[in-house]
Amino acid sequence: MKLILLGPPGAGKGTQGEILRQKLGIPTISTGNMLRAAMKEGTPLGVQVKQCMEEGTLVSDSLIIGIVRERLAQPDCANGYILDGVPRTLVQAETMEKEGLLELDCVLSLEATNEEILSRMTNRRVCADCGVPYNSVTSRSKVEGVCDLCGGKLIQRKDDEEATVRNRLVVYQEETEPLKGFFEQRGMLTRIPSLPTIEETSKVIAEAMGI
Ligand code: AMP
């Protein structure tokens, strides 16, 4: 099973990706998490992307293609993968398609309005160690401030501050939204409406995927 989770920041890609990862036993490839890990480790890649990440602008297509190509060649991706946050531009999609990295079963577009996103993002917390997202209102961890999965500390991402979120939404509309047309033309796009709870959304996703 190979699939893409498409949608604006805060639409639930990380949350639904984690649910699907557990259900399907295939890895979630989140370029955002990979770049944040590189920043945390202070690698040359991390230093290179820091400014873009903090401003909420996109890092270069060639850099992203390089890290995704390498990641998808790892043995744990042999039976499939869930792409979260990539491709994010038409150039990324076209390049990945040419390289045979987009032989997908489906593309799930998680729909959400700007108002919903703004209110969700300000309450979003992520694990500083494994990147799994929580929400301080709708999906709290069992112990406040501590990740249920790995015991890591929950933090607010710098790019989840309101001004940055607004900027990321503009970037999404200009750069990423056109990908819906790209995948629609290829008959792969399934739109998942915004629903009140994580459980309802994952049920609709499971039905759409026939799992
Ligand atoms: P995310 O966690 O997916 O919201 O990504 C956080 C940030 O990482 C984005 O605002 C970009 O700066 C960068 N990023 C992640 N994935 C990509 C991508 N596919 N193309 C360009 N920049 C990306």
Q: Is the CB of 176 under 6 A from ligand 1?
A: no
Please give the pLDDT value at position 119: 84
Q: Which of 2, 36, 120, 124 is catalytic?
A: 124
168: annotated active-site residue: yes
Q: What percent of the chain has pLDDT over 70?
A: 100
- Closest-CA residue, ligand 1 atom 6, reads 32
Per residue in 98-129, pLDDT (tens digit) is 999 999 999 999 999 999 999 888 899 999 99
The contacts of residue 168 (CB under 8 Å, 6+ apart) are: 8, 9, 56, 159
Question: Residue 210 pLDDT more than 90?
Answer: yes
Q: How far is the CA of 59 from the centre of ligand 1 (A)?
A: 7
Band (pLDDT 50/70/90 cuts) for residue 74 is very high
157: annotated active-site residue: yes
Q: Which of 2, 71, 88, 120 is catalytic?
A: 88
Per residue in 126-174, pLDDT (tens digit) is 999 998 999 988 889 999 999 999 999 999 988 898 889 999 999 999 9
13: annotated active-site residue: yes
Q: What percent of the chain has pLDDT over 90?
A: 90
Please give the pLDDT value at position 159: 87
Band (pLDDT 50/70/90 cuts) for residue 2 is very high
Q: Is the CB of 35 under 6 A from ligand 1?
A: yes
Average pLDDT over residues 24-46: 96
Read out DSSP for the chain?
-EEEEE-STTSSHHHHHHHHHHHH---EEEHHHHHHHHHHHT-HHHHHHHHHHHHTPPPPHHHHHHHHHHHHTSGGGTT-EEEES---SHHHHHHHHHTT----SEEEEE---HHHHHHHHHTEEEETTT--EEETTTB--SSTTB-TTT-PBEE--GGGSHHHHHHHHHHIIIIITHHHHHHHHTT-EEEE---SSHHHHHHHHHHHHT-
Query: Model-level pTM?
Result: 0.91
Average pLDDT, the chain: 95
Band (pLDDT 50/70/90 cuts) for residue 188 is very high
Q: Is the CB of 133 under 6 A from ligand 1?
A: no
Who wins on pLDDT, 55 or 83? 83
Please give the pLDDT value at position 50: 95
Q: Is the CB of 168 under 6 A from ligand 1?
A: yes
Q: How far is the CA of 132 from the centre of ligand 1 (A)?
A: 15
Q: How far is the CA of 141 from the centre of ligand 1 (A)?
A: 25
